[in-house]
A and B are shown apart, each in its own frame.
Chain A
Amino acid sequence: MNQAIRNTWIVALAMFALLFGSLTVVQFFEAENLNANPWNSRTIYKDFDKNRGAILVDGDPIAESVPSDDEFAYQRVYNEPELYAPITGFYSLVYASTQMESAMNDQLSGSGDEFFYEQIMQMFSGGQVEGASVELTLDAELQQLAWDLMPDGVKGSIVVMEPDTGNILAMVSKPSFDPNELAGHNTEEVTQNMAGLEEVPGLSPFINPANESLLAPGSVFKLVIASAALESGKYDADSKLDNPPALKLPGTNVELPNYVNGGCAARTTADFSFALEQSCNTPFAQIAMDLGEDAIAEQTAKFGYGESYQIPTHVTASRFPTGMSDDLLAQSAIGQYDVRVTPLQVAMTSAAIANDGVLMKPNLVRTVRAPDLRVMDSPKPEELRRSLSADNAKLIQDWMVNVVDRGIGGRAAIPGVEVAGKTGTAELMAGEEGNNSWFTGFAPADDPKAVVSVVFEDVDVATGSSLASTSAKQLLEAVLNK
């Protein structure tokens, strides 16, 4: 009988051996996978109990965690919520986190590798790792000014960037929203609020339109064609360009006209400067067909098209279509057809020209500071590539100055300062009223302090172009007065 009892004991031990095995699998080998499972709200709950670092602009928190007396230790609060919503994003129990809250989560929550020491200490002390604060490159005054320049009810974006560093000084979009509505801990209320936000026309709370909405660029794309022309070596400042009032597109019955009431009609041949000043369509359409799709595609890539960036928030890749017939290529040359750009990409194009041909990587983060105020990271300006030669860049700078001086960008002129600029109007749908009105430029032209990219979506031509140019002027003026 005792042998049977011993055997029973061995069976019991074998069962426990299996239990130790399965515990080890769950708590050790599979732990990482289980913790990463999207159904696992624990990771989020753990984060919501943390004193998450603040997001700062000019030293003031635009997002911060304050002690909370509900089931979580802290509540995320957004100050100036609508002004900064597309940049901060939100930090939500229900909808996870977006934009800066997501991109800088390792730093804000203190969970990144650079917190190794703090994490080890926390394992023994049982305390919580406090997150680092993230100071942005934004300028609070410029941001506010950009916001004020956009009328309510209009959809659009403004980007102001330093061409020599890539630092973004202002980035505003309308319509905006209040991230506090999504950061609450009452999941039912948050779900309702989100449903309400999704009703707002033109608003998507998950994206930053300045970085992630793809728009038809219209004539601001002519800067890319001009660059491609100069870089090809086939064209120079003295090149004579045919400037017919309309161009019959090959293989079709469609005519591509110059703007009927514009100054283009004055000349049937033009140089680059005149073609840009009056934004004539036909010369650029012909250049595009002459250079061919590949040469233009190559130039767009040099300006950063086709690439997505983390700045550190996500920037969607702008695109130039491929495999086009000549008539479509001609339409693409004036920023129509399927050319799609982000407002930031337009700013990057101007920035490369302003910075004598060198494209800097756009950036939103100035410093990452640990809770003990030690600087953990401060991104250095980073050169992406040379987009065009310095000489060619200078030529285009001069032409852009002429656009504002004596061309159709006159409303952007600032007395006593050389302002460089380019307007754009993209038809959204043939025969319909809505247009995207663009302005991009920089000042002072010989030593640019800032580039701007302004776009108003789905507006009529007159209001749009006047709004875009005057907004750009006031922003550049504000930068120069600093």
Chain B
Amino acid sequence: MSNIQTAPRSRRNTELLLLLLALVVGIGANMLVGLDQDRAFDSDFFTQGVTLVVLVLVVHVVLRLRAKYADPVILPIVTALNGIGLAMIHRLDIATGDSAATRQLFWTGVAIAVVVAVIWLLRDHRVLRRFTYLSLIASAALLIFPLLPFIGMEVNGARIWVNLGFATFQPGEIAKITLAIFFAGYLSTNRDLILLAGRKIGPLQLPRWQDMGPMLAAWLVSIGVLVFQRDLGSSILFFGLFMAMIYVATSRVSWVIIGLLMIAVGGFVAFQLFPHVTARINSWIKAFDPEVYNAIGGSHQIVQGLFGLASGALTGTGLGQGRPDLVTFANSDMIIAALGEELGLIGLSAIVMLYVLLISRGIRAALGSRDAFGKLLATGLSFTLALQCFVVIGGVTRLIPLTGLTTPFLAAGGSSLLANWLIVALLLLISDAARRPTMTGPANGSRSPGDRPGRRSKSDERNTGSTEVIQP
């Protein structure tokens, strides 16, 4: 066990302080948007500000009651990101006459309600381990929904949407969580078997064919998403998630190499066979070729995004002063370009730094976690966030081909917001379990003074349940 043994402190007051700072950032940004458009302090501003404050304070209070040892930095970071996202979406609404910010606020509310429910009802992430195979079935169902007639919808060529009647939803966003739960459950149970069996060829320890099953399954899911849903981004995300988790479970680089080879082959075949993949790659490599630029579905969007980033330069135009609305999908796929234009390289770097911190806190929770399931789940979820940032920001800056993924917490889109807040809920729970004082020795042993009597029996119960901790 590598967690540092210090006297456990809940640090909820630290969280409250950071939370206030995060709210100042988010609401301050929204205020600047209004000021620059000569419409400061309109009703939108107050509704958005007050709602955001109430929502995150509710999460804070629930954490105080139910998961008081949860990492104090995660919630403030996510609040800041969500607030900045709302401000930029509101700013783009003013330019385009849309009301995406109101929808985003609604979905923030929904997401936080779900977060509260998860923290309150689940209490311990290890419960999820019981649902390993249920998660697999759920993942399959979520990925198949959009392909079904009547409820499935195709938007901009990708068939990843479900029409719920009152709203549309991308089940694939939730599927990355259920898949992570499945992988974590499956790998934590079977890792010994996977590790011990297998042939050795040179320095590479190759797995047995039957142990390749889940990897092939993951590969097939990724390829299936690419072929049937035409969603390159999610395909990369699912496969990356699985690779990270199997590496953490086995510590075998050979798996990663096999995985990378499979993705290279799959990617090359996809490039040859599927026009939507070919188009993406062309828009990336030949973005400034007039033919590609002017083609429908060509590089116009990415090039306009680059122009936006470039016009922001080092210091940005200032919120409300640029023309981020010139880029298509400015408030969702391209919100990074919009933020880069108005906040500049400096502002955008600060935002990206928030992601680095968030992911590091997630990894910290994984390191501190006392059970393999928690370690795997926290690493998988954190790595998903990192990979998503990489695919989106890398795509916008033309480091890699642009795919249709959304920036976590910033981009307009209910499904993505809900899914990412769910990830946060799980990371909070895992970090709570990791940082909670261990109850070893007699049951009447000293408890930390902050522990409430009402929680005792349950936390004891959980601690006895942690005998299955697997030491690395």
Residues of A within 8 A of B (CB): 1-9, 11-13, 15-16, 18-20, 22-28, 30-35, 37, 39-43, 45-46, 123, 126
Contacts and interface: CB of A to CB of B under 8 A. Distances in A.
Nearest to B337: A26
28 contacts: A1-B249, A1-B251, A3-B251, A4-B247, A4-B248, A7-B247, A12-B363, A13-B356, A15-B389, A15-B394, A18-B394, A19-B390, A20-B349, A20-B352, A23-B309, A26-B306, A26-B310, A26-B340, A27-B309, A27-B310, A30-B306, A34-B309, A34-B311, A37-B307, A39-B293, A40-B307, A40-B311, A126-B36
B379 interface: yes
B81 to A, nearest CB: 15
B36 A42 contact: no
B194 interface: no
Given A37-B307, A126-B321, A15 B390 contact: yes
A34 B311 CA distance: 8
B85 to A, nearest CB: 18
A12 B321 contact: no
- Most chain B CB inside 10 Å of its own CB: which residue of A2, A5, A13, A35: A5
Contacts of B393: 19, 22-23
B383 to A, nearest CB: 6
Interface residues of B, number: 55
B372 A9 contact: no
B349 A23 contact: yes
Contacts of A2: 2, 367, 375, 472
Given A2-B472, A28-B314, A23 B356 contact: no
Contacts of A15: 386-387, 389-390, 394
B359 interface: yes
A11 B359 CA distance: 12
B348 A23 contact: yes
Interface string B238-265: 0000001001111100000000000000
Nearest to A37: B307
Interface of B: 2, 36, 244, 247-251, 288, 293, 303, 306-315, 318, 321-323, 326, 340, 344-345, 348-349, 352, 355-356, 359-360, 363, 366-367, 372, 375, 379, 382-383, 386-387, 389-390, 393-394, 397-399, 470, 472
A126 B322 CA distance: 11
A123 B317 CA distance: 8
Contact of A31 (B313, B318, B372): B313
B140 to A, nearest CB: 26
B363 A5 contact: yes
Given A16-B352, A40-B310, 16 more contacts: A1-B372, A1-B470, A3-B472, A4-B472, A8-B247, A15-B390, A16-B355, A16-B390, A18-B399, A27-B310, A27-B345, A28-B314, A42-B307, A45-B323, A45-B326, A46-B311
B317 to A, nearest CB: 8
B386 A25 contact: no
Task: Please provide the 5 A-B residue pairs with the shortest distance between their CB atoms, ordered closest to farther.
Answer: A1-B472, A34-B310, A12-B386, A22-B397, A27-B345
A190 to B, nearest CB: 18
A206 to B, nearest CB: 22
A39 B303 contact: yes
A42 B372 CA distance: 52
B134 to A, nearest CB: 25
B399 A19 contact: yes
A117 to B, nearest CB: 17
A5 B306 contact: no
B251 A4 contact: yes
Nearest to A24: B345
Contacts of B247: 4, 7-8
B360 A9 contact: yes
Contacts of B386: 12, 15-16
Nearest to A13: B356
Contact of A41 (B36, B315, B326, B349): B326
B318 to A, nearest CB: 5
A46 to B, nearest CB: 7
A301 B363 CA distance: 77
A45 B472 CA distance: 59
Contact of A22 (B307, B382, B383, B399): B399
Most buried by B among A28, A37, A42: A42
A5 B366 contact: yes
Contact of B379 (A5, A24, A126): A5
Contact of A19 (B250, B288, B394): B394
Nearest to A45: B323
Contacts of A11: 244, 383
Contacts of A22: 393-394, 397-399
Nearest to A123: B315
Contacts of A12: 359, 363, 382-383, 386-387
Given A1-B472, A2-B2, A23 B352 contact: yes
Given A20-B349, A27-B348, A42 B326 contact: yes
Contacts of B315: 123
Contact of A28 (B250, B251, B345, B355): B345
B352 A19 contact: yes
A19 B351 CA distance: 12
Contacts of A123: 315
Contact of A8 (B248, B389, B397): B248
Contacts of A7: 247
A100 B96 CA distance: 34
A43 B248 CA distance: 49
Contacts of A46: 311, 323
Contacts of A8: 244, 247-248, 363, 379, 383
B363 A126 contact: no
Nearest to B319: A126
B159 to A, nearest CB: 28
Contacts of A42: 307-308, 311, 322-323, 326
B284 to A, nearest CB: 12
